[in-house]
Amino acid sequence: MVGTGRRDLPADVLDGVATVSAEGPEATVLAAAAVLGAYRRAGWTPPAWGGEVVEPAARDERPVCSPAAAQVLELLVSRDIRVEGGNELLIGHWLATCARAGQRPPARLVVLLLRLATATRGLRDEVAAIAGPRGEWLARRNPSWAWAAPVAATDAKERFATGTWAQRQAVLTALRRTDPAGARALVESTWEQEPAATRAGMVDVLGVNLSDEDEPFLESTLDDRAVTVRAAAAALLDRLPRSRRAARMAQRVRDLEPPEELDASARRDGITDQREHGHGRRASWLIQLLGAAPLGPVPDDLSTADSWVVVGWTMAALRQRDERWLVALARARPTPEVVAALPTAEAIAVVDRESTVDARFAGLLAACPGPWPAEFSTRIVVRLRGARTEGALTLAFAALARNLHHTALPAVESWIEDTPPDKRARRRTLRGLAHALTIRQTIEQEFPL
């Protein structure tokens, strides 16, 4: 090293360095540097922590799912395997099956699930439930994941006052799930200062956990100066058959006759001049009135009722979730919307009564809630295989992939084997269905109930 031949190492650099000796002055300097470096590192004191100590997430007592189940979820979420119709179909099935088994995904997958559900709103409820305390802990520290964290009333007030509309909407939605009255009080606290678009959005949020306790506020909102706000309030009041508005509607439709004209009171209650598809102006008024009126006893024979009356009753049954009416309507004049609102057993009975496998059949099947039992699943595959056209299989594919029992897999595989090579579209659809059923079978095997 330069200079070591002309000058010795100063002895006062560090006590004890003078005793360091090595072969030659260069080695002595390097040895002394090593001693000095160790001395300085040993004396380093880390800076004092000035931040807030964060409490860890609460312990999750649920058992972790099997490694095989976790691998399937990770492959689906990361898109390392792809399913015809979208991976979300099977991710939702995985989450629901895991929840029914009382298990949870491994901690390393919670962030992936939160990211996925942030982009895919349809999975948010399932992900929030399955993510557990760790997901809640993470969601409190990332504004993008606020939808997954319960909101305390004290926190909600501050966040509602200072956030953007998207953040305020998320706070209101979360609070409505746990404290509906508290969320409504927040809406009322700033109502007069909000622009029309925000007021309409606030009313929409009240649809979460809607109850008769919301009726006084919604009734007053029918007098709002903005048509969008009035329409939003009317849409929610349609779902409250014990409201004052519903009682007024019942008076208007007691004779099942279309009104000659709309008075100011009917227009205040949200009846508009918008035509219902296939119906004239007066019939459209009656449909709107019936759709907002409380339902009475089910008539003995719905098949003899006028079409516009049945349309109005159907609207009311769907809005009020009246199972008696839904079952009766499905037996008389089934539609996909009615079938989707039925219990699974009733919906299956409606589909089984359809004699022709066509686009109408496919629409009802696609709406049929699941999961479907084994016998019905195999029967459906056999019926679709016997159809004259490809349309029914294509239209119902998503429902088949989501709801078919895995015991129908051999019937699907047999169909693939017997399909001619030149029927490429059909073979591709069937292979996609078989792939989805194979994954669902794996999921169900890993979560025995």
Per-residue pLDDT tens for 19-71? 666 676 777 777 777 777 777 788 778 888 778 888 899 999 999 999 999 99
Q: Between these two residues, 323 and 156, which has the higher pLDDT value?
A: 323
> Among 83, 91, 97, which Cα is nearest to 119's?
91
Mean pLDDT of 421-429: 91
Average pLDDT in the chain: 90
- Give yes or no for a contact between 4 and 26, defined as CB atoms under 8 angstroms apart: yes
At residue 130, does pLDDT exceed 70? Answer: yes
Q: 321: helix, coil or strand?
A: coil
| 171-221 per-position pLDDT tens digit | 898 899 889 999 999 999 999 999 999 999 999 999 999 999 999 999 999
How confident is residue 385, by pLDDT bands cut at 50, 70 and 90? very high
pLDDT at 153 (0 to 100): 67
3-class secondary structure, 82: coil
Residue pair 171/146 in contact by the 8 Å Cβ criterion: yes
Q: Which of 226, 224, 286, 282 is nearest to 255 (CA)?
A: 286
Mean pLDDT on 103-116: 96
| Contact assessment for residue 124 and residue 88, using Cβ atoms and an 8 Å cutoff | no
pLDDT at 22: 65
Instruction: Give the domain ranges of the chain.
Output: 1-36, 244-333, 336-446
Q: What is the model's pTM? A: 0.79
Instruction: Please state which of the ranges 110-119, 133-142, 234-243, 300-309 shows the lowest mean pLDDT.
Output: 300-309
Token pair 């990770």 in the structure block, residue: 74
- Flag whether pLDDT at 313 surpasses 60: yes
Check if the beta carbon of residue 215 is closer than 8 Å to that of residue 243.
yes
* Averaged pLDDT for residues 279-283: 90
Closest by alpha carbon to 339, among 364, 358, 321? Answer: 364
